[in-house]
Amino acid sequence: MLTKINHIGVAVKSLEESLPFYRDHLGMSFAGIETVDEQKVRVAMLQIGESKIELLEPTSEDSPVAKFLEKNGSGIHHIAYEVEDIEAAIAKLTAEGVRMIDQTPRCGAHDTRIAFLHPKSSAGVLTELCQCGH
Ligand code: CMX
| 117 CB within 6 A, ligand 1 | no
Q: What is the mean pLDDT of residues 105-125?
A: 94
Which CATH code fits 2-132?
3.10.180.10
Q: Tell me what percent of the residues of the chain surpass a pLDDT of 90.
A: 93
Q: What is the mean pLDDT of residues 1-8?
A: 96
Query: What are the extents of the domains in the chain?
Result: 2-132
CA distance 75 to 104: 27
pLDDT at 134: 64
Mutate to test the pocket of ligand 1, among 12, 116, 122 (most ligand atoms within 8 A of CB): 116
Alpha carbon of 68 to ligand 1 centroid (Å): 7
| 100 CB within 6 A, ligand 1 | no
Task: Ligand 1, residue 109: give the atom nearest the CA.
Answer: 51
Q: What is the mean pLDDT of residues 42-69?
A: 96
Contacts of 78 (CB under 8 A, 6+ apart): 8, 9, 116, 125, 126, 127, 128
